[in-house]
């Protein structure tokens, strides 16, 4: 090899090295649109928010805005760590991000990551939201509004008519609602169902039901679950938690659960194969059921009242991260999507129950029916109770603590722990998780 080629090689190596360094230095370069040029807004969501039609409408009236949605249909468990990483890295998050209420409490401790919507005229919108939904979006000192509410999770009980008929139970939704005024009645109905051996479990998994009972009991009593309103961990002293745990143990004892770990692949398969008859059903769950059970089960599902009384599970917010390049445009879009009109549009598309009282009163919601669920009057079932929903306060490590307690429920459900051992585990592990 002559010196000439060797020198050339050295030059190539040098250039390659520089290029690589350059690439790492400016990787992830953003499109820098001129102030009045076209703007692309990215909206990060999980699950189904039902915004497609609204985007089209908004883009038609704002020709300089292009909207891209990411994460549609993804699992909250996958979405939330990703979002947290984006926020921590100061890069990568969409211009608008959806935040579930359980996660919002953690983000509230670090509000510096988000635009204060109160600085951008959001205060005028207060009347557009249920009071508690508005307050949930505020930081503890009330000075910063992180997110505008999208939906709330009013509760019902979804059930399969064909399996109920097989077990000789009534199938009409009013008659079914009358079967279970309380959770004890629900267990009794389950035992009747099981006695007829219909080839399916009575409910999907104890964990979802546990969370439903807990949020309902807590909403009707103390107003908080694992943390009291001064952020003290009260998992072992709040009677609502123990009461919900004990009721769930009754369900497990009676052998009613199909033990399909919620959100797992088996859970999804069990939907498809009709392997359980009932599932606790916050408003947003209707979209999940339709997606999992598929078109083949259309008309087999119906919606009845939830045992016990009311309750709220879930619901989300739209926030604008500070790292965004087009904050003004993003705020405007977030306001549009969370307006009464936006919430009605989302409800019609995918079923999330509005958090705006105006939307809840709108005939488009009140009179709406869900064809998939045998034309159940979802407007009446969910919207009627939505305005009297009693929210449950959530403390800073709510998600981690909830994980531990639900895991303990799961170990009992799978027969790996007795109810007593499970409770000890729940309390111990919850304390450990809260301290982490």
Q: How many CB atoms lie within 10 A of CB 28?
A: 8
Pick one of 29, 63, 81, 142: the residue that binds another protein (CB under 8 A): 81
Instruction: Check residue 10 for interaction with another protein (CB under 8 A).
Output: yes
Q: Does 225 contact another protein by CB under 8 A? A: no
Report yes or no: 390 and 219 within 8 Å, Cβ to Cβ. yes
Q: The tokens of 21 are what?
A: 């360094």
Q: Which of 231, 243, 309, 403 binds another protein (CB under 8 A)?
A: 403
* Binding region for another protein (CB under 8 A) out of 85-93, 121-129, 334-342, 346-354: 85-93
The DSSP bridge pattern shows strands 147-149 and 316-319 to be antiparallel
**How many residues contact another protein, by CB under 8 A?**
49
Cα gap 135→349, rounded to integer Å: 27
Q: Does 80 participate in binding another protein (rule CB under 8 A)?
A: yes
In a 3-state reduction of DSSP, which class is residue 6? Answer: helix
Comparing CB distances to another protein, the nearer of 116 and 309 is 116
Q: Does 140 bind another protein (CB under 8 A)?
A: no
Binding-site member from 49, 51, 107, 224 for another protein (CB under 8 A): 107
Measured CA to CA, the distance from residue 211 to residue 113 in angstroms comes to: 30
Instruction: Name which position in 101, 106, 332, 362 contacts another protein (CB under 8 A).
Output: 106
Cα–Cα distance measured from residue 133 to residue 358, given in angstroms and rounded to the nearest whole number: 14
Cα atoms in the Cβ-side hemisphere of radius 13 Å centred on 51: 29
Angle at 324 between CA 318 and CA 326, to 5 degrees: 95
Distance of alpha carbon 107 from alpha carbon 100, whole angstroms: 10
Q: Which of 411, 419, 424, 431 binds another protein (CB under 8 A)?
A: 411
Binding residue (CB under 8 A) for another protein from 88, 123, 165, 195: 88
C-alpha distances out from residue 141 to 126, 145, 384, 393, Å: 17, 10, 32, 15
In the shown chain, the binding pattern of residues 343 to 382 toward another protein, with x for contact by CB under 8 A and - for none, equals ----------------------------------------
Give the contacts of 374 (CB within 8 A, at least 6 positions apart).
Answer: 161, 173, 299, 300, 301, 302
CB of 400 to another protein, least distance (A): 4
Judged by CB under 8 A, the residue of 229, 232, 269, 421 near another protein is: 269
Q: Is residue 139 part of the contact set for another protein (CB under 8 A)?
A: no
Both tokens of 265, joined, read: 């692949």
Compute the least distance from the CB of residue 413 to another protein, in Å.
8
Q: Which is nearer to another protein, 324 or 354 (CB)?
A: 324
- CB burial of 122-133 (b: ≥16 within 10 Å; e: otherwise) equals beebeebbbebb
- Chain centroid to Cα 66, Å, comes to 26
CA 254, CA 47: separation in Å to the nearest integer? 33
Options 243, 374, 407, 424; binder of another protein; rule CB under 8 A: 407
Q: Candidates 160, 161, 173, 275: give the one binding another protein (CB under 8 A).
A: 275
| Min dist. Cβ of residue 376 to another protein (A) | 27
State which of positions 228-267 bind another protein (CB under 8 A). Answer: 260-267
d(CA 274, CA 272): 6
Judged by CB, which is closer to another protein: 185, or 266? 266
Q: Which is nearer to another protein, 55 or 86 (CB)?
A: 86
H or E stretch covering 158: strand 155-160
Pair 281, 311: CB distance under 8 Å: no
- Binding-site member from 169, 293, 365, 433 for another protein (CB under 8 A): 433
- Contacts with another protein by CB under 8 A lie at 3, 6-7, 9-10, 13-14, 16-17, 20-21, 24, 77, 80-81, 84-85, 87-88, 106-107, 109-110, 112-113, 207, 260-267, 269-270, 273, 275, 399-400, 403, 406-407, 410-411, 414, 416, 433, 436
């Amino acid at each position: 090899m002559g010196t000439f080629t060797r020198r050339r090689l050295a030059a190539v190596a040098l250039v390659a090295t520089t290029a690589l360094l350059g690439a790492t230095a400016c990787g992830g370069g953003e499109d820098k649109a001129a102030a009045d040029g076209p703007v692309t807004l990215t909206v990060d969501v999980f699950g189904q928010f039902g915004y497609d039609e609204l985007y089209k409408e908004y883009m038609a009236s704002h020709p300089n805005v292009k909207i891209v949605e990411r994460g549609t249909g993804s699992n909250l468990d996958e979405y939330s760590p990703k979002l947290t990483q984006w926020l921590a890295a100061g890069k990568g998050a969409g211009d608008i991000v959806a935040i579930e209420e359980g996660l919002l409490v953690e983000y509230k401790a670090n509000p510096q990551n988000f635009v204060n919507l109160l600085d951008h005229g959001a205060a005028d919108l207060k009347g557009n939201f249920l009071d508690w939904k508005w307050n949930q979006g505020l930081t503890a000192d009330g000075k910063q509004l992180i997110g505008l509410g999208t939906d709330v999770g009013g509760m019902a009980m979804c059930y399969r008519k064909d399996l109920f008929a097989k077990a000789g139970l009534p199938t009409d939704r009013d008659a079914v609602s009358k079967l279970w005024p309380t959770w004890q009645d629900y267990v009794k109905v389950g035992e009747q169902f099981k006695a007829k051996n219909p080839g399916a479990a009575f409910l999907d998994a104890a964990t979802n039901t546990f969370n439903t009972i807990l949020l309902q009991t807590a909403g009707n009593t103390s107003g908080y679950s694992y943390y009291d309103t001064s952020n003290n961990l009260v998992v072992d002293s709040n009677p609502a938690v123990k009461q919900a745990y004990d009721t769930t143990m009754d369900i497990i004892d009676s052998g009613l659960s199909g033990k399909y770990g919620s959100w797992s692949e088996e859970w999804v398969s069990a939907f498809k194969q009709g392997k359980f008859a009932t599932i606790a059903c916050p408003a947003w769950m209707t979209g999940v059921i339709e997606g999992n059970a598929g078109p083949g089960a259309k008309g087999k599902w119906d919606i009845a009242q939830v045992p016990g009384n009311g309750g709220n599970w879930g619901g989300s917010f739209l926030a604008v991260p500070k790292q965004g390049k087009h904050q003004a445009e993003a705020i405007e879009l977030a306001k549009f999507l969370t307006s009464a009109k936006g919430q009605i549009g989302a409800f019609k598309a995918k079923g999330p129950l509005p958090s705006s009282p105006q939307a809840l009163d709108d005939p488009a919601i009140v009179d709406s029916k869900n064809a998939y669920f045998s034309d159940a009057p979802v407007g009446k079932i969910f919207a009627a109770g939505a305005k009297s929903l009693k929210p449950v306060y959530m403390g800073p490590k709510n998600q981690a603590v909830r994980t531990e307690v639900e895991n303990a429920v799961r170990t009992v459900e799978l027969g790996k722990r007795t109810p007593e051992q499970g409770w000890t585990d729940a309390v111990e592990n919850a304390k450990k998780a809260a301290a982490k």
